[in-house]
A and B are shown apart, each in its own frame.
Chain A
Amino acid sequence: MAFQILLNFFLAFLWMFLQVSFNSSTFIVGYILGLILIYGMRRFFKQEFYMRRVWAVFYLTLLFFKELILANIDVLRVILKPKLDIQPGIFAMPTELKSDWEITLLSSLITLTPGTLVIDVSDDNKVLYVHAIDLPDVHDAIDGIKNSFEKAIMEVSRNG
Chain B
Amino acid sequence: MTVIVDGVIILFLVIGAFLSLVATFGVIRLPDVYTRNHAASKAATLGVMSTLLGAFLYFYLIEGHFSSRILLGIAFIFITAPVSGHLISRAAYNAGIKLADSSIRDDLKDKNKR
Chain A residues packing against B (C-beta within 8 Å): 64, 68-69, 71-72, 75-76, 78-80, 84, 86-92, 107-108, 111-112, 115, 117-120, 122, 127, 129, 131, 133, 135-136
Contact = CB atoms under 8 A, between A and B. Distances in A.
Contacts, number: 108
A142 B46 CA distance: 21
A92 B107 CA distance: 6
Interface of B: 19, 22, 25-26, 29-32, 34-35, 37-39, 41-43, 45-46, 78-79, 82-83, 85-86, 89-90, 93, 99-100, 102-108, 111
Nearest to A107: B86
Contacts of B99: 88-90
B107 A80 contact: no
A78 B103 CA distance: 15
B30 A79 contact: yes
Contacts of B31: 84, 88
A108 B104 contact: no
Q: Is the interface of A mostly helix, strand, loop or mixed?
A: mixed
A116 B102 CA distance: 16
Contacts of B82: 107-108, 111-112
B86 A119 contact: yes
A135 B19 CA distance: 23
A153 to B, nearest CB: 15
Contact of A135 (B29, B43, B104): B104
17 contacts: A68-B46, A68-B78, A69-B46, A71-B42, A75-B26, A76-B19, A78-B38, A79-B22, A79-B29, A79-B39, A84-B31, A87-B103, A89-B99, A111-B82, A111-B85, A112-B82, A127-B111
Q: Chain A CB within 10 Å — which of B38, B78, B82 has the most?
A: B38
